[in-house]
Structure 1
Amino acid sequence: MQLVEQSKRATYIGTGRRKSSVARVRLVPGTGQLTINGKSGELYLQFNPTYLAIAKAPLESLGLENDYDILVNTSGGGLTGQADSIRLGVARALCQLDPENRKPLKVEGYLTRDPRAKERKKYGLRKARKAPQYSKR
């Protein structure tokens, strides 16, 4: 019975990516709870206030932090990449909720995907750019 009630509620979906992490975000009318991979957001993000603030930033900028629950499935990368991908997913879901939200979110920079990713290692080098020590003789 609970599944039927959940499916009747309006759900807004957004996908966010950052580095190698991907977050599939659903916004559901609720009380402002953050759930990531079935765990509470605080527990999953290790009670780090910075990560929690990043993940909830788009909602807070619009003043909707207590109106919607955030349900997230995320994979890949570390906590920083996942927090940033959640932020992008939430922002995209808010645009789906109301097209009027797009302008303030765009100004804040929440709709811009961060293109930085790990650079590939090149042959002849130790890492992407680190060369072996040069010996003159």
Structure 2
Amino acid sequence: MGAKTIKVDPKTAKYGTGRRKEAVARVWIIPGNGRIVVKSSSGKEWEGKDYFERDILMAKINRPFVITETLGKFDVYATVKGSGKPAQAEAIMYGIAKALESYNPELRPVLKKAGLMTRDARVKERKKYAQMGARAKYRWSKR
């Protein structure tokens, strides 16, 4: 369950911040062999596949590496907070894309074409007054 932490050296590590819905991920990539360590808001560190149990979430996290053909060349250390695990996985994905761009600016066109340099701005719509929720109205009763 617990993961052995990755040492983040400021000289070799590249940083990127990713956001999705209410989730915020601070991501560091270090040249390595493809390990992913996630530190949750509880303060516990997890191996990536133990924290994000579903394979689709791990595939999302690895998407920037697959697109830039750098899968297995970097270790990832990420801290996440807010929202749920799917949004946190996407936040890590965006953070990795930004970190890869700072590592090698020539990767930007490839990442941009894949849509990873643009934050997904979709968030929950707020509840309106005199309504049940964002869109749903209270039922009208004649008497």
- Work out whether the TM-score is over 0.5: yes
- 2:9 is paired with a residue whose SS is helix
Counterpart of 2:126 in structure 1 is 120
Percent sequence identity is: 36
| Residue equivalent to 1:63 | 69
- Aligned structure 1 segments of 4 or more residues deviating by more than 4 angstroms: none
Name the residue aligned to 1:43. Answer: 50
CA distance in 2 between counterparts of 1:35 and 1:43 reads 9
How far apart are residue 6 of structure 1 and its match? 5.0
Matches within 5 A, 1:86-125: 86-125=92-131
Q: Is there any run of 5+ residues in structure 1 with no aligned partner, and where?
A: none
RMSD: 1.4
CA distances 1:41-92 after superposition (whole Å, capped 9, x unpaired): 000002x110000011001111111110011000000011101101100000
Q: Which amino acid aligns with 1:39?
A: W
Aligned-partner Cα distance in 1 for 2:70–2:12: 15
Q: Which residue of 1 aligns with 2:4?
A: none
Instruction: Report which of the two has the higher share of helix.
Output: 1
Alpha-carbon distance in structure 1 between the residues aligned to 2:38 and 2:65: 16
Partners of 1:25 and 1:72 within 8 A in 2: yes
Which residue identity does 2:15 align to in structure 1?
I
Contact 1:9 1:29 in 2 (8 A): no
Post-superposition CA distance 1:113-132 (Å, at most 9, x none): 00011111111011111101
Deviation for aligned residue 1:8? 6.6
TM-score, L = length of structure 1: 0.92
Q: Quote how far apart the aligned CAs of 1:136 are.
A: 3.6
* Contact 1:9-1:28 within 8 A present in 2 as well: no
Residue type of the partner of 1:125?
Q
User: Does structure 1 residue 54 correspond to structure 2 residue 56?
Assistant: no
Aligned residue pair count:
132
